[in-house]
Structure 1
């Protein structure tokens, strides 16, 4: 009840994962005298998420800490970076982030509540908290851990009797679905989920070694979590140990920086930790390097140099710069991500939104797909209060241009433009540099891509456009006639894309998208702006009212001749064609690859007024043949890849050209009805869609006012489901 005043999902009142309440479950276990056994994450192979090894000697047992070690404790003395060692799971990204977290007690206790113990009030139950897309989530686990040959299978501590890190790992695995869901990832994922902060990355090559060292030192002093890695050029290089003792494609925690004197020369050092708990750097200033022989013993003691294989080591910043490629940072305070900011007292407003990319509705793909890009979700940003001079933002703008000029998969010509789409003149560009700008931080995260046992990140990005006046959804014409003023960068198959932007005051629309259209997914968008800005964050539903236009194309003379010849050839007594005969007529007119099956022809015949005979006279047959010829031309026009099929977005445009314009939800139901849930609709499916829509719209026109009161789109959605 004490949490009732806090919003659900806040740290004080976290969401209960699987609806499990830690306090009530622990009380029940204490009263019963039975240790807690978690039914939602059972001590079975399926929780690991990998096939069981058939060899008896490799069998996995699930044991509680006191069954593994007689003097088992939750925490041995104090929390430290060496408490975490990687087991037989490729989750170095997660454990490196956890190592960074141990250096920040105020952040650590958010994830690992401090009252837990393996001795006092012990009931075999533990709880941990993780940030998930704008909410804190509490995860309950029992303490049965997977063991093979008497050793923990996954994460463990160098202190063999300490178990907090193994239990955190188990809780995170439960949150993601399986232990196997933790294989492979970016360190930023773990850092954000442990802090709720914003993560970003910096290329090491962009800074001279002394500048890089100063930035790392400043970031650590601001409480920023830091990590780094060496990029692996191919999958074969991942896990390869270099001659210097460093592992490619492997996450390292940056735990400290310092400086020492050697022969009156100042040496700048960076302290790293390998989550494996072993395999250390072998170069200058490593644990056993002779360089330490020329350093004052008091300095060595101050640095707490340990000449043992614990995964932790020092490295000179020059060597660090030449050997590592990327540094990742994460801070709960947006100001701490600004290397040039000396004022951390400024405040920020935060706006968040959870959205979805729905195939055929709001998964329009990249700008390369011009006809569907506009259907992606759209969000408005209204920036009114500038907080930085244009000259101060010029460096960021230059970085944006350099990063965006050549690395976007869908287009390579995204120059910055004005609101009307015309490139800025040199004079205007110069004036713009002197203008005031607004600082905005935008992060787009794709959700729940680990929870099915595998990692399935899709390529995502966002684009930002400036506009003057807007009413509702911006349409295809707007986006095809303009280029974005900024974007997150190239499309990447990572959980999140982030960028700090300096934009002129004005109105903007932000469009998050996947690289390919019709790729389903959920996302979380968060936008920080300096307080004082009126930050409007609104989704516009891109839909229109249903509109039926009567097509009045006259029949072609050759079609008139073909219809008459077919009727004469069939020699029917009542001068009418049934569905089978009509199919023969239609397929003699249409191109071979677009022939209609009998069922579609029956639908067409039954849609005509035949007096209950389900047979067409010459006039009706000619009208349908003319309509089908027109639909075939429309299909040709919108089948952009000449595949002989349509995508959901091609269907929307083709329906509009055929005189049928309807809401995206109606198109979605149509697709499910006539496309069988697939992403490719053949011509006969398109004909069925048009026939069905026209019939229902005519029925709507003749309906009573009571039936029509909710509008035609509601009418269509109800009847299409029948």
Structure 2
């Protein structure tokens, strides 16, 4: 605590005290809305050497290293911590080895830990003062009272979130990603929503896929991390309340005395005590169907807080399972669907901006304004694409409460409802509006209030267009697109025309994209000052009669050169009136352009918005001087009077996993 002063080291030096995450109530509580708030005034802060005589990070006994939940409702985080004990290379990533510990002359009272955040590993430094009640850790600990890696990891995670209280209730999948930098998916064990709720065919397919099939996971059953959770008191639970997460330690098929097989799962309760009363507890009736030697061996595996149950009990008593993707020592993701290593990966950040790139779902005519990404696949292979959004806190600053963007949505105040759709396209000529009226080749189908949504597919070689979206138009946020693949891939952002065009209820903007290059001696004709100007690439388009019904801007063109900022060419373009179906060489050399974007500028993008009468036109993009080579792209937006066919996008059932624990009486 602040008034305690500094603790002396053996060399007379003071131990580190973290002023950014002090040992007081500001580090414990954020808004005092959870049951942990009742602990105010009862907590003291102590270092491990003040709690026990011989503190260590990891007890020698592996079973005593596991996390045991205290008075904080963070079972979701503790279940995810199991992945670190199963994978030393991940543990060393999160908690770098060879840090000086207690009893080491180099020890100075602090530890450095790392968490994966929005695409990068973030280091968090903490002092080792831990919250206690009566000289005993009041939050999470190891099963051994001398082990402190769990308590230190929990403190660092609390600092990352802003307070311990912010760890009350959460998703196992989020913690798994933060601890591994990989992926995690939630699978349903029961009915995924009301039968009365209408579902499209695609939605039904997605709900079937999300129902757990343990056979599907068999190739990776020893590598992946499984956590099961309940949103109600299971029939076999003797004391489980609502909303609790547990860890699946192992599962295997056991031969019975009758010759059949039964699948058994060993479950660990982070509370550290058994809470189950099924047929496989102790001398339960289930063991009588198994060979006695096998039964004895399996029962001997049960550590404190663990119990066995069979697959039928598991599927009926729990609501969903979180599956964490295995990660190899080289850092490659392993598919939970096929067991294949996904050795290629890319990631790109993005954002939804109100009035510009927050187009909402496919129900909205502004859907096409959402951010867009090119995914190029070199050969057929398995591809996983995830959309990870940044969390919105109620308190963006430690002591300052801020207004939520969506005050009506108190249940899902931290996340937007998001989805990800993908289309197979021909990159050289893309009519965005027409393409979006076709079904996507893959999608997450339902918009869900989850931090990360994932789509998977076996993709053919070629270009694919990815569009991440929020359910509501105008919903703002930052996100990260991640792609993992068994074959070589590339990922790039598609530059949308900017600034955005105003959207009205009776018109739509149809956007087409073109790609080309200026090649020395061939298509790099330069500006109109040179006779070779007409050798430049030629892109015809038409303006319909309908677009002239409403006066004002009806065409907007953006030219983007694919060159680094340090190697830009001066670029511009002209628009010529042409006879439909003819080429650039037929344009009279003395004809003035219908519109121009000049002078040529040293910039990556030049844009022009104009009003053109109905007819046939062509765009000639150019560099200022001839024979300057570069690749470029053109976007052409035209106002039309045709509305898109609306898809029946809907919100998926949000899986709201939270935690609950009774405060034990001492």
After superposition, the Cα gap between the structure-2 partners of 1:335 and 1:129, relative to the gap in structure 1 and judged at 3 Å, is closer
Q: Answer yes or no: is 1:367 the counterpart of 2:365.
A: no
- Give 1:141 shift: 0.8
Q: Answer yes or no: is 1:183 the counterpart of 2:163.
A: no
State the match for 1:50 in structure 2: 30
After superposition, the Cα gap between the structure-2 partners of 1:545 and 1:488, relative to the gap in structure 1 and judged at 3 Å, is closer
Structure 1 CA distance for aligned equivalents of residues 319 and 302 of structure 2: 26
Asked if 2 retains the 8 angstrom alpha-carbon contact of 1:445 and 1:497, the reply is yes
Asked if 1 retains the 8 angstrom alpha-carbon contact of 2:248 and 2:268, the reply is yes
State the match for 2:195 in structure 1: none
State the match for 2:138 in structure 1: 153
Among residues 83, 87, 92, which one is paired with 1:104 in the alignment?
87
- Give 1:707 shift: 12
Q: Answer yes or no: is 1:459 the counterpart of 2:413.
A: no
Structure 2 CA distance for aligned equivalents of residues 304 and 43 of structure 1: 43
Q: Answer yes or no: is 1:484 the counterpart of 2:440.
A: yes
User: For residues 230-629 of structure 1, what are the structure 2 equivalents within 5 Å?
Assistant: 230=230, 232=231, 237=232, 240=233, 242-245=235-238, 248-260=242-254, 262-265=256-259, 266-287=261-282, 289-292=284-287, 298-300=293-295, 302-303=297-298, 305=300, 310-330=304-324, 331-332=326-327, 336-341=334-339, 344=340, 348-370=343-365, 372-386=366-380, 438-449=381-392, 452=396, 456-470=414-428, 475=432, 477-478=433-434, 481-531=437-487, 533=488, 535-544=489-498
Q: Answer yes or no: is 1:34 the counterpart of 2:14.
A: yes
- Give 1:249 shift: 3.1
Unaligned 5+ segments in structure 2 are 1-7, 191-206, 399-411, 509-546, 559-594, 609-666
After superposition, the Cα gap between the structure-2 partners of 1:545 and 1:102, relative to the gap in structure 1 and judged at 3 Å, is closer
Asked if 2 retains the 8 angstrom alpha-carbon contact of 1:81 and 1:102, the reply is no
- Give 1:381 shift: 1.8
Out of 134-143 and 704-713, give the one that drifted further.
704-713
- Give 1:153 shift: 2.8
After superposition, the Cα gap between the structure-2 partners of 1:122 and 1:657, relative to the gap in structure 1 and judged at 3 Å, is farther
Out of 45-54 and 494-503, give the one that drifted further.
45-54
State the match for 2:50 in structure 1: 67
Structure 1 CA distance for aligned equivalents of residues 38 and 149 of structure 2: 30
Structure 1 CA distance for aligned equivalents of residues 475 and 289 of structure 2: 60
State the match for 1:118 in structure 2: 102
Asked if 1 retains the 8 angstrom alpha-carbon contact of 2:254 and 2:262, the reply is yes
Q: Answer yes or no: is 1:171 the counterpart of 2:129.
A: no
State the match for 2:628 in structure 1: none
The TM-score with structure 2 as length reference comes to 0.63
Give the secondary structure class of the aligned counterpart of 1:365: coil
Give the secondary structure class of the aligned counterpart of 2:68: coil
1:666-713 CA distances to partner (integer Å, 9 max, x unpaired)? xxxxxxxxxxxxxxxxxxxxxxxxxxxxxxxxxxx9xx9999999998
Asked if 2 retains the 8 angstrom alpha-carbon contact of 1:374 and 1:474, the reply is no
Structure 1 CA distance for aligned equivalents of residues 141 and 377 of structure 2: 49
Asked if 1 retains the 8 angstrom alpha-carbon contact of 2:217 and 2:337, the reply is no
Give the secondary structure class of the aligned counterpart of 2:143: coil
Out of 448-457 and 251-260, give the one that drifted further.
448-457
Asked if 1 retains the 8 angstrom alpha-carbon contact of 2:217 and 2:336, the reply is no
- Give 1:58 shift: 4.5
State the match for 2:225 in structure 1: 225
Asked if 1 retains the 8 angstrom alpha-carbon contact of 2:387 and 2:482, the reply is yes
Structure 2 CA distance for aligned equivalents of residues 153 and 351 of structure 1: 41
Structure 2 CA distance for aligned equivalents of residues 128 and 187 of structure 1: 19
Structure 2 CA distance for aligned equivalents of residues 162 and 638 of structure 1: 66
Asked if 2 retains the 8 angstrom alpha-carbon contact of 1:252 and 1:273, the reply is yes
Give the secondary structure class of the aligned counterpart of 1:102: helix
Asked if 1 retains the 8 angstrom alpha-carbon contact of 2:235 and 2:317, the reply is no
Structure 2 CA distance for aligned equivalents of residues 248 and 229 of structure 1: 9
1:571-613 CA distances to partner (integer Å, 9 max, x unpaired)? xxxxxxxxxxxxxxxxxxxxxxxxxxxxxxxxxxxxxxxxxxx
- Give 1:461 shift: 0.7
Higher relative strand content: 2
Structure 1 CA distance for aligned equivalents of residues 256 and 373 of structure 2: 56
Asked if 1 retains the 8 angstrom alpha-carbon contact of 2:229 and 2:245, the reply is yes
Out of 177-186 and 537-546, give the one that drifted further.
537-546
Higher relative helix content: 1
Aligned-pair Cα RMSD in Å: 4.1
Asked if 2 retains the 8 angstrom alpha-carbon contact of 1:228 and 1:327, the reply is yes
State the match for 2:530 in structure 1: none
When Rg is computed on C-alpha atoms for both structures, the one with the higher figure is: 1
Asked if 2 retains the 8 angstrom alpha-carbon contact of 1:213 and 1:270, the reply is no
Asked if 2 retains the 8 angstrom alpha-carbon contact of 1:81 and 1:100, the reply is no
Structure 2 CA distance for aligned equivalents of residues 505 and 705 of structure 1: 40
Asked if 2 retains the 8 angstrom alpha-carbon contact of 1:464 and 1:508, the reply is yes
Structure 2 CA distance for aligned equivalents of residues 41 and 538 of structure 1: 39
Asked if 2 retains the 8 angstrom alpha-carbon contact of 1:155 and 1:169, the reply is yes
Give the secondary structure class of the aligned counterpart of 1:381: strand
State the match for 1:393 in structure 2: none
After superposition, the Cα gap between the structure-2 partners of 1:261 and 1:509, relative to the gap in structure 1 and judged at 3 Å, is closer
Give the secondary structure class of the aligned counterpart of 1:478: helix
Unaligned 5+ segments in structure 1 are 1-27, 387-437, 548-630, 640-652, 665-700, 715-722
Q: Which has the higher contact order (CA 8 A, sep 6+)?
A: 2
Structure 2 CA distance for aligned equivalents of residues 530 and 512 of structure 1: 22
Structure 2 CA distance for aligned equivalents of residues 661 and 34 of structure 1: 69
Asked if 1 retains the 8 angstrom alpha-carbon contact of 2:334 and 2:342, the reply is no
Structure 1 CA distance for aligned equivalents of residues 16 and 292 of structure 2: 51
1:439-463 CA distances to partner (integer Å, 9 max, x unpaired)? 2211111124458489601111111
Structure 1 CA distance for aligned equivalents of residues 216 and 37 of structure 2: 51
Give the secondary structure class of the aligned counterpart of 2:315: helix
Give the secondary structure class of the aligned counterpart of 1:106: helix
Structure 1 CA distance for aligned equivalents of residues 30 and 342 of structure 2: 46
Give the secondary structure class of the aligned counterpart of 2:465: strand
Asked if 1 retains the 8 angstrom alpha-carbon contact of 2:30 and 2:166, the reply is no
Structure 2 CA distance for aligned equivalents of residues 351 and 461 of structure 1: 19
Asked if 2 retains the 8 angstrom alpha-carbon contact of 1:439 and 1:529, the reply is yes
1:405-449 CA distances to partner (integer Å, 9 max, x unpaired)? xxxxxxxxxxxxxxxxxxxxxxxxxxxxxxxxx422111111244
Asked if 2 retains the 8 angstrom alpha-carbon contact of 1:287 and 1:307, the reply is no
Q: Answer yes or no: is 1:144 the counterpart of 2:129.
A: yes
